[in-house]
Amino acid sequence: QTDVLNAKESLSEFQPADLRNKFLELYHQEPLVVRSPGRINLIGEHTDYNEGFVMPAAIDREILVGISSAQGPKATLYSVKHDETVTFDVNNPEKVENPAWANYLLGVVRQFVDKGYDLKPFHAIIGGNVPTGAGLSSSAALECGFAFAVDQLHGFQVPKLDLIHMAQWAEHHYVGVKCGIMDQFSSMMGAAGQAFVLDCRSLSYRYFPVDLKDYTIVLCDTMVKHSLANSAYNTRRSECEKGVAILKEHYPAVRSLRDVTADMLQAHRDEFPGKVYDRCIYIVAENERVLQASEDLAKGNLNAFGQRLYASHDGLSRLYEVSCLELDFLVDEAKKFGGVLGARMMGGGFGGCTINIVKKDRVNEFIDTLKAAYQHTIHREMVGYVVALKDGTSIVPLTAKEPSLL
């Protein structure tokens, strides 16, 4: 496999104070600062667009947005990472050819305009330390952080659920990625120390504490993204739809794979062409695993939880076929390493990160071992991050200036 699109930058430790300083330097004004986290998904992969269940949580890697009113007639967006400014009319935010990052934000502004909010020109700057394209959803963090910042600056008090949909709209219509709702939902609604099970059909959700005792969550970034990812995503979506169409003939109440059981699939196995049966059986099993995994965590049964992660990976790799050499390699290495309860690929697949439940006192050894093995066999650098679960999108309280000692 040689179609590796990009090796990603390693993490910079960009902090709210850095963003504020940049804002002061550019606009000589005190900004309102908003943080919006990236997210992980503990289990429940490719289930969102099948109206099933996912188990995401917001993490301690975040996009930061600084914003204040502008004096002139135009609004500006500045990306610290790209060191670029985009100027636009707040009442007519058009999609742009370049730079790509601006469309995530312009799409959000378009939603405020279309919904009749009276926007005033502003300066906004964007920074942060969510690695991009690693499956941690920097794009949703960006949209959500910015939507919340625009709302707070104007005092509109748009409900968070509406902001989530506005963020998703921006990604669909200004970026052109037909994402589910999980990413925006997780970034906006996360809670410290907690994950939640989200029902992607009704959008009902239930928080629960994630107490991993002597274990912690480690992400291993393959640093690859194979070009197959987008086309495979679309093919999988249509394979799932095909499966639903076949089952509908027999069970008219079936609207999505969410409504299907393994027995129903088994009873009509001969009717499924090509790989459609394997795709469907994976989705049905994965939905079941999410619900069982939340019970495992509630009971503190971490071994069972870890085994479900391995089972999820196995299904994604063999039945759903969205893994790749690099992801399979890292999951196999994790399995070989003592002190890991479970591991699996996370996100759409064909690259990005694996998620691993690792014994706290062995984390450094774990990362070093996998790094060395990855370098030796894949000839590429792996990056490991330990993540903690954090609150969703919120204002950063910046400490007031020290009173001068006159």
Binding site for ligand ADP (CB under 6 A): 63, 79, 81, 100-101, 104, 126-128, 130, 132-139, 142
142 binding partner (options ligand ADP, Mg ion, none; Cβ < 5 to 8 Å by kind): ligand ADP
Q: Least distance in Å: CB of 146 to ligand ADP?
A: 10
323 binding partner (options ligand ADP, Mg ion, none; Cβ < 5 to 8 Å by kind): none
The backbone region for 135, taken as left when phi is positive above 0, alpha when psi lies in -120 to 50, beta otherwise, is left
Angstrom distance (rounded) from CA 288 to CA 315 = 13
81 binding partner (options ligand ADP, Mg ion, none; Cβ < 5 to 8 Å by kind): ligand ADP
User: In terms of CB distance, is 144 or 265 closer to ligand ADP?
Assistant: 144
342 binding partner (options Mg ion, ligand ADP, none; Cβ < 5 to 8 Å by kind): none
- Number of helices (H), then strands (E), belonging to the chain: the values are 11, 13
Count of residues near Mg ion by CB under 5 A: 2
59 binding partner (options Mg ion, ligand ADP, none; Cβ < 5 to 8 Å by kind): none
Angstrom distance (rounded) from CA 219 to CA 337 = 15
Q: Least distance in Å: CB of 396 to Mg ion?
A: 23
Of the ranges 135-143, 203-211, 216-224, 372-380, which one interacts with Mg ion (CB under 5 A)?
135-143
User: In terms of CB distance, is 154 or 237 closer to Mg ion?
Assistant: 237
31 binding partner (options ligand ADP, Mg ion, none; Cβ < 5 to 8 Å by kind): none
The backbone region for 213, taken as left when phi is positive above 0, alpha when psi lies in -120 to 50, beta otherwise, is left
Is there a contact between 92 and 119 (Cβ–Cβ < 8 Å)? no
Residue type at 46 in one-letter notation: H
The backbone region for 180, taken as left when phi is positive above 0, alpha when psi lies in -120 to 50, beta otherwise, is beta
Active site residues: 183
**Cα–chain-centroid distance for residue 18?**
24
User: In terms of CB distance, is 186 or 294 closer to Mg ion?
Assistant: 186
**Inter-CA distances, 226 with 1, 11, 230, Å:** 8, 21, 9
User: In terms of CB distance, is 47 or 137 closer to ligand ADP?
Assistant: 137
369-394 as b/e: b if 16+ CB within 10 A: ebbebbeeebeeebbbbebebbbbbb
User: In terms of CB distance, is 139 or 152 closer to Mg ion?
Assistant: 139
Q: Are strands 56-69 and 394-395 parallel, antiparallel or unpaired?
A: unpaired
Q: Least distance in Å: CB of 198 to Mg ion?
A: 17
Q: Is residue 256 a contact residue for Mg ion (CB under 5 A)?
A: no
User: In terms of CB distance, is 183 or 296 closer to ligand ADP?
Assistant: 183
Nearest residue to the partner Mg ion, using Cβ: 139
Angstrom distance (rounded) from CA 246 to CA 263 = 14
Contact pick of 36, 139, 152, 317 for Mg ion (by CB under 5 A)? 139
Is there a contact between 141 and 63 (Cβ–Cβ < 8 Å)? yes
Q: Least distance in Å: CB of 67 to Mg ion?
A: 22
Angstrom distance (rounded) from CA 122 to CA 137 = 26
Binding site for Mg ion (CB under 5 A): 137, 139
